[in-house]
Amino acid sequence: MAEIINQIPGYEKGSVKRISATDEVSAIFLAAQMVSDLLNKWNTNVVFFSLTGRCEALQDLVKNESSVAKLFTVNQKNPSLQVILRKAKGLVNRKSVRVVFIEGLPEQTTAGKRWLELFAKSASVPVVVVDWNNEEL
């Protein structure tokens, strides 16, 4: 009898996690690696929002060998968190997206962090915020 896995390890439903890289290129490589794993190993639909216009770079790096999982990418022009979350909610409901990535999101206030947490819990999906340290060393 086949076992049905409802929970992807490391991507708990309703959680928000922030991953950081040293620069923009490393952030895209890290995100592409995570997205490829979700698509190929877990057959999971993923949405990737980029506020920096890097969706094409991510698509070039991601290798999707799954016949059922899809990657949805959105080059988001409007940086408003409410707009992003509204679009993400639509994709979760219409396209059965199970993980939401947001790249380039600026540091959020307490209210913004709360919005992310509420969205993740209400949509029952993990949210991964990808950022990088843009300070000069």
Answer whether residue 1 shows pLDDT above 80.
Answer: no
Nearest-CA neighbor of 99 among 124, 127, 75? 127
Q: DSSP strand E in 51-126: where?
A: 71-75, 99-103
Answer whether residue 130 shows pLDDT above 60.
Answer: yes
Contact 122, 78 (CB under 8 A): no
Q: Can you tell me the distance from the alpha carbon of 58 to that of 44, in angstroms, rounded to the nearest whole number?
A: 17
Q: Using one digit for the tens of pLDDT, what is the confidence trace for 32-75?
A: 999 999 999 999 999 999 999 999 999 999 999 999 999 999 99
Structure tokens belonging to residue 36: 């490829």
Q: Using one digit for the tens of pLDDT, what is the confidence trace for 88-107?
A: 999 999 999 999 999 999 88
What pLDDT score does 136 carry? Answer: 47
The structural domains of the chain, with segments of one domain joined by +, span 16-109+119-132
Contact 120, 89 (CB under 8 A): no
Class of domain 16-109+119-132: alpha beta
Average pLDDT score, the chain = 90
Answer whether residue 137 shows pLDDT above 50.
Answer: no
Three-class SS state of 38: helix
Answer whether residue 28 shows pLDDT above 70.
Answer: yes
pTM for this model (two decimals): 0.90
Three-class SS state of 113: helix
What pLDDT score does 3 carry? Answer: 57
Answer whether residue 4 shows pLDDT above 90.
Answer: no
